[in-house]
Chains A and B, each alone.
Chain A
């Protein structure tokens, strides 16, 4: 056996191959020649694409058909034998001869609605495909073109991917929409088989602008809103792609060139946002899960050139359908809502359209079933999750199932970064400025509304009352002392809301529906109730805080800009502001300002004779309990109020703490600085037999003081035999720290107590605090005289002057003849008062404890 040399063997093999190729060529020439052969290859690729399409399941027509059916579509096919087409060595470029320029008049859209050409270097060199105008007259080009220079594409925009001024205006007009914007790099690498070298690459750059078009509510079995499926659509996306590459397999060389651009990027896309911690499908489809499938019709357009490297040289050129965006997959496809154009149809793609939401449990079942079956082609097998409003990922995988008969391979390389670009802007309106809390008044609820201003899409609202006061009772002197429950709460049973839930410092109420505006009603349980209200809205799984008009993330209830716990309108009405603990009532004038109640306490108010009222923070208030109930005492208290100019409140026994006499026994927040947390006491007037005295202001000696204001005076006791005179007024005077006009005790002239200089008989005659009817007095000559009782007058006022009047008036050392007994008497009897403590405008005091005695007393 003769073994040929390697050279001869190669020579033989070459001859055989040439013969085979000749036969094949001849065969194909008979049956259509090389063109049919290329068609066979094209058909193979189309069958592969069909596989992909079947796997994806999208019901769109075949890509090639779509091209063919596109009105005005022109597919340029040029025989390889023609010398009019020259394929340059530079990958991806083809030139069209001048003879083809006539065709440029027929500008056609291929598949994109709006295609704008970027005059980059490649395009300057020539683009395979056709050029067309959109309906709006813009230059539109896609597919292949040929020719030198810019091909007459004079109107191409310099930067197609940049935002123009017009775009800015459009974006402004589109406020309220949610967009996802970002970039995608998508590469498909293809080989021809194991005995082939080289590859051809489809490379796509996408600048996507997707818009959220539909939202489908997902509710659990209790019909509580648990999540929302959001459907996307292209809004202003752009893609550009190019194809190039050459493979050589034995005597065959195949070159692929293509390019294209378009505005469709999505076949369908969705994301799921969970809105509840109790979401049944969280386990199978976590919040933020998304899936994107690229548009099935969008791909670069180009040509495939077959060239025989053996035997008689020949070549053939065909339009070539590339895979394009249909292989672009992000995220495992666990749910397919398409095709649909409305929330209803999207929903009905999976579930009964009659139900206005998707059942979470049913969806869960479906997801779990499909998860087990692993239906369809899954280019991206991973579950992808939106994190912090971003879709981001990368993968590089072989496309399983797309291996053709010649063992060709394909792989996909995808990188994406897409941001949700519009934040939810929700506004929480301020509380009504003229609203103040009232206890248990169903008619006095406060409505507060929050709205999603941007984008105007529904969300699930949650309102939170926090920092809510827990004042005891419901007014300063009313309600259970042990009740420290929250002073503000949401009105229960609000339409569209779940039941409110109590928190450590307030309440929380969550809507049971998605709305763009929600209103909550708040009721108060206390006249001093105060708190903060914030709102959040869950749009697509993310809780966005509401903002108030003043830029805060909460509003105060009631309206209270300085947050001093007093409604601002009340402060304005009463002429006070600032620290709510201040106690500086100015009128009537006295030793010091204040009445023992802070501004907040006066705002919170008191129960007076079974009726609530707030009190004036600029006028001094005194609380008096007439324990006797007698009209005489009531009359005396009224007279006392008139004469002192104090605001005197007559309260019943349950409107102060009888044991301690403290009126503001339910004090808590913003207690009066003047009282240092000790509370303010009231006066209690009792009618009781005193044996010899008409009346007595009994001091609480534990205070260390003998005389003082209400915080010192334990009890005002009036003997029942002295109800008809001014005794009660006199003793009430002691109860507000008014003193006798003099402190000198004289027990001369055979009497236990007599009048004279600096005695309690001195000063203005009408002074309620003055002693009356002494038996005798000592004159300026230091001798005893009969007291001129006929000159006594009935007291009628508290005094602001020490100067004596009547028998006490000057000038000194004067003698007057008394016609009653025919004797001359020296005057004044007791002269001017000496104790400044008797002066109402200098000594009257309500809010102090023990203080040093005033001078001259």
Chain B
């Protein structure tokens, strides 16, 4: 069900908002996903003031809206599901609380999404995010599947990519990660190793003069996967 709420009303609330949390930042990140899968939305309340105590319950009031077309003053409430409770994070100088939301079906291209939470009767709006998908649509679907820990979708994407682009790493990487999720570590290791080989072929560390490229970085995602898999294998 979609209800319409005047955005100006929200802004009005925001304008008169006062208190310590007004300096905090409600940040919305959207991972668009791809149909038939869902979109993922991550809502974080960053407390720059390290003395601010954020209450996880604040995120219970979270609401998500799609801005209707070009009319910034009309919002469509979005329906979402929550897979896990909000959690705290601490990145030393930045800490806060965060929650993931699943919107299914996936959000269409180019729509704008905004979130709000209500704290002690005051409304705090997030940044607005426009849904923009990568050129390679599989990346968005794969990342949503990773975040949702959905090995099936990831396997499907990986196998399709292995067939379509055998000279690229992502098919093996996605399938390897899906196999890792499923606990099929040997198969996973195999796929990740293949991905590493392809990576080095496609991204040699040295230039044509045989010198190491100064800002060349190793395939850390693959290496980490291998380390996890091996660690898992070793028990």
Same complex for A and B? Answer: yes
Binding site for B on A (CB under 8 A): 628-632, 634-636, 638-639, 642, 689-697, 699, 706-707, 719-722, 727, 734, 739-740, 743-745, 747, 752-753, 760, 771, 773, 789, 837, 853, 857
- Cα separation A639 to B146 with both chains bound (whole Å): 28
B:199-235 near A, CB below 8 Å: 199-200, 205-206, 211-215, 217-224, 227
Once the chains bind, are B27 and A630 in contact (CB under 8 Å)? yes
Would you give the shortest CB distance from B31 to chain A, in whole angstroms?
A: 8
Write out, one digit per residue, whether chain B residues 7-41 have a CB within 8 A of any chain A CB (1) or not (0): 00000000000000000000101010000000000
Nearest residue, chain B, Cβ from A744: B212
The listed residue (B173, B206, B215, B227) touching A706 by CB distance below 8 A is: B215
Q: A691-B169, A693-B221, A789-B227 are in contact. List 12 more A-B contacts (CB 8 A).
A: A630-B44, A631-B91, A631-B94, A634-B46, A634-B91, A692-B199, A694-B217, A743-B212, A752-B196, A753-B205, A753-B218, A760-B212
- Cα separation A752 to B95 with both chains bound (whole Å): 38
B81 CB contacts on chain A under 8 angstroms: none
Would you give the shortest CB distance from B11 to chain A, in whole angstroms?
A: 16
B58 CB contacts on chain A under 8 angstroms: none
A691 CB contacts on chain B under 8 angstroms: 169-170, 173, 221
Would you give the shortest CB distance from B117 to chain A, in whole angstroms?
A: 15
Once the chains bind, are A857 and B91 in contact (CB under 8 Å)? no
- Cα separation A815 to B206 with both chains bound (whole Å): 31
CB-based closest 4 A-B pairs: A635-B91, A638-B93, A692-B219, A694-B220
- Cα separation A848 to B46 with both chains bound (whole Å): 35
Once the chains bind, are B200 and A693 in contact (CB under 8 Å)? no
B:127-166 near A, CB below 8 Å: 127, 134, 139, 143, 146
Once the chains bind, are B213 and A706 in contact (CB under 8 Å)? yes
Q: Which of B29, B134, B170 has the most CB of A within 10 A?
A: B29
- Cα separation A637 to B29 with both chains bound (whole Å): 18
The listed residue (A636, A642, A697) touching B215 by CB distance below 8 A is: A697
Once the chains bind, are B214 and A707 in contact (CB under 8 Å)? yes
- Cα separation A699 to B213 with both chains bound (whole Å): 11
The listed residue (A631, A639, A696) touching B89 by CB distance below 8 A is: A631
- Cα separation A695 to B215 with both chains bound (whole Å): 10
Give me 23 A-to-B residue pairs in the complex whose CB atoms sit less than 8 angstroms apart, sorted by A's number: A631-B27, A631-B46, A634-B93, A635-B91, A635-B93, A691-B170, A692-B199, A692-B220, A694-B220, A694-B221, A694-B224, A695-B217, A697-B215, A707-B215, A720-B31, A722-B220, A722-B221, A744-B212, A753-B205, A753-B218, A771-B218, A773-B223, A853-B214
Once the chains bind, are A699 and B215 in contact (CB under 8 Å)? yes
B96 at the interface (CB under 8 A from A): yes
- Cα separation A764 to B97 with both chains bound (whole Å): 35
Would you give the shortest CB distance from A348 to chain B, in whole angstroms?
A: 63
Nearest residue, chain A, Cβ from B199: A692
- Cα separation A719 to B223 with both chains bound (whole Å): 14
- Cα separation A722 to B217 with both chains bound (whole Å): 13
Given contacts A632-B91, A636-B91, A692 and B222 within 8 Å (CB-CB): yes
- Sorting the interface of chain B by its residue count into under 10, 10 to 19, 20 to 34 or 35 or more gives 35 or more
Would you give the shortest CB distance from B197 to chain A, in whole angstroms?
A: 8
B107 CB contacts on chain A under 8 angstroms: none
B218 CB contacts on chain A under 8 angstroms: 753, 771
B188 at the interface (CB under 8 A from A): no
Once the chains bind, are A743 and B211 in contact (CB under 8 Å)? yes
A853 CB contacts on chain B under 8 angstroms: 214
Once the chains bind, are A857 and B214 in contact (CB under 8 Å)? yes
Given contacts A639-B92, A745-B205, A753-B205, A692 and B221 within 8 Å (CB-CB): yes
B195 at the interface (CB under 8 A from A): yes
Once the chains bind, are B127 and A629 in contact (CB under 8 Å)? yes
Would you give the shortest CB distance from B202 to chain A, in whole angstroms?
A: 9
Once the chains bind, are A631 and B44 in contact (CB under 8 Å)? yes
Write out, one digit per residue, whether chain B residues 171-215 have a CB within 8 A of any chain A CB (1) or not (0): 001000000000000000000000111011000011000011111
- Cα separation A840 to B42 with both chains bound (whole Å): 36
Number of A-B pairs, beta carbon distance below 8 Å: 105
Once the chains bind, are B200 and A752 in contact (CB under 8 Å)? yes
Once the chains bind, are B215 and A696 in contact (CB under 8 Å)? yes
Nearest residue, chain B, Cβ from A712: B215
Would you give the shortest CB distance from A60 to chain B, in whole angstroms?
A: 80
- Cα separation A634 to B50 with both chains bound (whole Å): 14
B94 CB contacts on chain A under 8 angstroms: 631-632, 634-635, 638
The listed residue (B27, B197, B215, B217) touching A629 by CB distance below 8 A is: B27
Would you give the shortest CB distance from A608 to chain B, in whole angstroms?
A: 14
The listed residue (B29, B212, B221) touching A690 by CB distance below 8 A is: B221
B206 CB contacts on chain A under 8 angstroms: 745
Nearest residue, chain B, Cβ from A724: B91
Once the chains bind, are B223 and A628 in contact (CB under 8 Å)? no
Nearest residue, chain B, Cβ from A730: B217
Nearest residue, chain B, Cβ from A630: B29
Once the chains bind, are A720 and B27 in contact (CB under 8 Å)? no
Nearest residue, chain A, Cβ from B174: A691
Would you give the shortest CB distance from B82 to chain A, in whole angstroms?
A: 19
Once the chains bind, are A693 and B217 in contact (CB under 8 Å)? yes
Would you give the shortest CB distance from B211 to chain A, in whole angstroms?
A: 7
Nearest residue, chain A, Cβ from B197: A752
Would you give the shortest CB distance from A756 to chain B, in whole angstroms?
A: 13
- Cα separation A853 to B89 with both chains bound (whole Å): 39
Once the chains bind, are B143 and A720 in contact (CB under 8 Å)? yes
B211 CB contacts on chain A under 8 angstroms: 743
Nearest residue, chain B, Cβ from A721: B221
- Cα separation A707 to B148 with both chains bound (whole Å): 37
A699 CB contacts on chain B under 8 angstroms: 215
A747 CB contacts on chain B under 8 angstroms: 200, 205
Once the chains bind, are A734 and B215 in contact (CB under 8 Å)? yes
Once the chains bind, are B219 and A693 in contact (CB under 8 Å)? yes
Would you give the shortest CB distance from A739 to chain B, in whole angstroms?
A: 6
Given contacts A628-B29, A689-B143, A752-B196, A706 and B221 within 8 Å (CB-CB): no
Once the chains bind, are B215 and A689 in contact (CB under 8 Å)? no
- Cα separation A436 to B211 with both chains bound (whole Å): 53
- Cα separation A744 to B214 with both chains bound (whole Å): 10
Would you give the shortest CB distance from A133 to chain B, in whole angstroms?
A: 89
Would you give the shortest CB distance from B210 to chain A, in whole angstroms?
A: 8
B31 CB contacts on chain A under 8 angstroms: 720
Nearest residue, chain A, Cβ from B221: A692
Once the chains bind, are B219 and A689 in contact (CB under 8 Å)? no
Nearest residue, chain B, Cβ from A692: B219
Q: Which of A635, A692, A699 has the most CB of B within 10 A?
A: A692
- Cα separation A771 to B217 with both chains bound (whole Å): 8
Once the chains bind, are A631 and B200 in contact (CB under 8 Å)? no
B197 CB contacts on chain A under 8 angstroms: 752
Would you give the shortest CB distance from B151 to chain A, in whole angstroms?
A: 16
Once the chains bind, are B134 and A689 in contact (CB under 8 Å)? yes
Once the chains bind, are B195 and A692 in contact (CB under 8 Å)? yes
- Cα separation A211 to B227 with both chains bound (whole Å): 103
Nearest residue, chain A, Cβ from B214: A707
- Cα separation A514 to B27 with both chains bound (whole Å): 61
